[in-house]
Amino acid sequence: MSTDTTDQDYQEIASSSSKNTAPGFSVDDLLTGSHTFRFDRYSRREGFEVGKYLVSDTFTAGGYEWAIALYPSGKKDQYIDYVSLYIRLESEETDVNAVFELMLVDQSGNGKHKIQTQFGRLQEKQPFLMRRRGSQWGFGQYIKKKHLKKLGYLKDDCLVVNCVVGVLASCTDKEIEQAPVSCISDMDQAVMMESCEDTKFLDLESAARVIIEFGAPAQLQGLVNDADRAKFDHYLNAVDEIQQSIKTGQVSDYEAHGTRAMKTLQLVFQGILDCSTSVNQSDTLSSTLDSSSMTSSYGYEQQGGHHASHHELSQEQVYRLCSIVQRLNKGGCLGDCIEVYRISRKSVVDARFLRFSIGRWSVNDLQGLDVEEFAAKIKLWIQVAQKCYHSIFPGERQYYEQIFDGVRAVSYDTCFLAIVEHVAVELNNFADAVSFITSFRKLFAVLDLYKALDVILPEIQKMFYTVASENICQGASNTITSLATLVRKLFSSFEDTVLNEQSNSPPPDGTIHSLTEYAMNYVTRLSQYKESVTDIITSRPTKSLGNQADEQFLEASDRTSSNLHMIWIMMSLKINLMSKSKVYEDSALRYLFIMNNVTYIIKTVKGSPELVEMIGKEYLSKLRKEVLQAAQDYYSSIWHRVLYCLRDDGLSNKFPFYNGISKNSLKDRFKTFNSTFEEVCQMQSTRLVLDVGLREELQKLILSKLLPVYKAFLEKYGSRVQSERGKERYIKYSSEDLEDKVKKLFSEH
Residues in contact with 733: Cβ distance below 8 Å, sequence separation at least 6, in sequence order: 674, 677, 710, 741
Distance CA 117, CA 125 (A): 11
Specify whether domain 2-198 bears CATH 3.40.50.980.
Answer: no
User: Is pLDDT above 90 for 605?
Assistant: yes
Distance CA 715, CA 726 (A): 19
How confident is the model over 238-278, as pLDDT tens digits? 888 888 777 766 555 677 888 888 999 999 999 999 887 76
User: Is pLDDT above 90 for 680?
Assistant: yes
DSSP string of 303-329, one letter each residue: TTSS---TTSPPHHHHHHHHHHHHHHH
Distance CA 271, CA 327 (A): 17
User: Is pLDDT above 60 for 180?
Assistant: no
Q: Per CATH, which fold does 641-742 belong to?
A: Monooxygenase (1.20.1280)
Q: What are phi and psi of 652, to 5 degrees?
A: -95, 145
Residue range 486-504: mean pLDDT, rounded: 92
DSSP string of 123-177, one letter each residue: GG---EEE-STT-EEEEEEEEETTHHHHTT--BTTBEEEEEEEEEES-TTTSPPP
How confident is the model over 454-478, as pLDDT tens digits? 999 999 999 999 999 999 999 999 9
DSSP string of 549-592, one letter each residue: HHHHHHHH--S-HHHHHHHHHHHHHHHHHHHHHTT-SSHHHHHH
How confident is the model over 223-246, as pLDDT tens digits? 887 677 888 888 888 888 888 777
- For the chain, the domains span 2-198, 201-342, 501-631, 641-742
Distance CA 108, CA 154 (A): 9
Q: How far is CA 658 from CA 207, 651, 721, in A?
A: 145, 14, 20
Give this prediction's pTM. Answer: 0.65
User: Is pLDDT above 90 for 302?
Assistant: no
User: Is pLDDT above 50 for 196?
Assistant: no
4-18, 633-647, 734-748, range with the lowest pLDDT: 4-18
Q: What are phi and psi of 477, to 5 degrees?
A: -65, -45
User: Is pLDDT above 60 for 121?
Assistant: no
Distance CA 69, CA 483 (A): 51
Cβ(384)–Cβ(453) below 8 Å: no
137-141, 280-284, 321-325, range with greatest mean pLDDT: 321-325
**Per-residue model confidence (pLDDT) at position 125:** 59
Pick the closest to residue 121 from 14, 6, 28 (CA basis).
14
